Amino acid sequence: QPTHMASNNQTSVTEFILKSFSENPQFQIFLFSLFLGLFIVAFTGNSLIIVVISLNPGLHTPMYFFLINLALLDILSTCTVVLKLLQNLMTENTISYGGCIAQIYFLTWFLGSELLLFTAMAYDRYAAICQPLHYNTMMNKTVCCLLASVVWSVSGINTTIHTIITVRLSFCGPNAIDHFFCEIPPLLPLSCSSTYINNIMVFVADMFFAIINFLFILISYGFIISSILKIQTTEGKKKAFSTCSSHLIVVTMYYCTIIYIYILPALGQSLNEGKIASVFYAIVSPAANPLIYSLRNKDVKVALNKLCPFFRK
């Protein structure tokens, strides 16, 4: 039943009911084990990447500096979603109004930052492969720190605006969110005040964070691929492409799911498929990222072996 609170002669929702994955207790236990396993993999994998890169001076380069940022964002986004999800699988599927707003604030911040970070990483690969002689100047320490600051702060400003206009909405009727955690697209239909401004802002943010960023990445990779094709030796081509392939895999995984949950609903598509897709970018991607980057990267593997001899085969 909706829980309401009387304020200024108007009732407002104090908690939301989240959609459950299944009513079957055995299946819920299976999901709890699966999500807990993925959470442990994501948390330990990304923490290891941060530790290995920080302790290894040979990895103090722009590419790995951005990788530390990605690992940190993965840890933060997975903590924002998965811990509450695990609690809900074991207890009732509710989240307080404040908890829901907090989840929206942090998840929007970290997801937006990841999308911007992918663009910064694509620019770094472009500079390394297409402008090798100017690379050290183009990607010096100041530039890297400036790019990282822009990534975190632009997304922070975006999420602050979204949260402020979401908090101004009235929720006085239905309180069942058709989703497993709090995100803006499934929350807006529950408002009993106008969401016109919110919908416009979601569309604008989608255009900037997803479409424009994706175009920048495609342009960077257009230049990168044409430069790789000009390399004479097969070995040279392989080496150049191997530094990009991990980034390409991760970017593709992310954008496919972001388009599903944020863009398609804005174009009038159903949110149903998006619910499964969102679990992918909130849980599966953060667990997969460190595996993709470390398993496909010789330098990281060497550094990991130095730090943890028991990883040696």
pLDDT above 70: percentage of residues in the chain: 88
Domain ranges within the chain, ordered by starting residue: 25-311
pLDDT at 110 over 90: yes
Mean per-residue pLDDT, 227-240: 78
Mean per-residue pLDDT, 229-256: 77
Crossing angle of helices 272-279 and 234-258, rounded to 10°? 130
Cα separations in angstroms, 2 against 95, 226, 291, 297: 12, 58, 42, 51
Q: Are the C-beta atoms of 206 and 269 separated by less than 8 Å?
A: no
CATH-assigned architecture of domain 25-311: Up-down Bundle (1.20)
Cβ partners under 8 Å of residue 120, min gap 6? 66, 147, 148, 150, 151
Mean per-residue pLDDT, 92-121: 92
- Cα pseudo-dihedral 31, 36, 38, 42, rounded to 10: 160
Alpha-carbon span 254 to 292, nearest angstrom: 13
